Amino acid sequence: MNNNSDFDVVKEIFSWISIIVVAAVIALVLNLFIIANSRVPSASMENTIMTGDRVVGFRLTYLFQEPKRGDIIIFKFPDDESLYYVKRIIGEPGDIVDIKDGKVYLNNSETPLEEDYIKEPMIPEADMHFEVPDGAYFCLGDNRNNSADSRRWVHPYVYKEKIIAKVIFRYFPGFKMLK
């Protein structure tokens, strides 16, 4: 009877170890290939994403569709690819982006882009003009007055192959689906 008891303990320990190993492998696969987990360290996306918020991005989104204006993305920072940034796509491939008097204009429109997500009106500065190349995107933070974004970078465009994921929700400190 003592041998049976020892055998059951070993079997139970092996069962727990196998469950932990399977869970770790699933978590690793999810993190490497399906989701991107990121903490936002700055105020550049406020009030959509606050400083210190944690967000989840879906890595597979752009295998099935093209990135589009308004998407919030996690990407490799064009001026230092060891850093990941989170910003909103404003200009798509082929777009002309003009920033005048604190407003964003697309493709020579007379009407500024309607942006109900920005924290506050942009402080006007010198006019800026950008022509988004094929395969690239022009990205801005929602907190335009406190955002290091395409307007300020040495390499102002985010190329599709450098996009890691589309942000789908914030989960800390509170859950919030992002559009």
13-68 tens-digit pLDDT: 888 999 999 999 988 888 888 999 889 999 999 999 999 999 999 999 999 999 99
What global pTM score does this model have?
0.86
SS3 assignment, position 21: helix
Query: Given pLDDT bands bounded at 50, 70 and 90, which one contains residue 1?
Result: very low
Concatenating the DSSP letter of every residue in 112-140 gives: PPP-TT-SSPPPP-S-EEEEPPTTEEEEE
Could you tell me the fold of the domain covering 7-175? Umud Fragment, subunit A (2.10.109)
The reply to whether 87 belongs to the active site is yes
Q: H-helix or E-strand containing 33?
A: none
Residues 44, 119, 147, 166: which is the catalytic one? 44
Residue among 120, 140, 121 nearest 130 (CA): 140
Report the alpha-carbon distance of residue 14 to residue 27 in Å, rounded: 20
pLDDT of 2: 52
pLDDT of 156: 98
pLDDT in tens, 123-161: 999 999 999 999 999 999 999 999 999 999 999 999 999
Residue at 177: amino acid letter: M
Residues 42, 76, 82, 87: which is the catalytic one? 87
Domain ranges of the chain: 7-175
Token couple for 160 = 């599709």
Residue at 67: amino acid letter: P
Residue the block writes with tokens 């190329």: 159
The percentage of the chain sitting over the pLDDT mark of 90, rounded to a whole number, equals 78
The reply to whether 44 belongs to the active site is yes
pLDDT of 62: 96
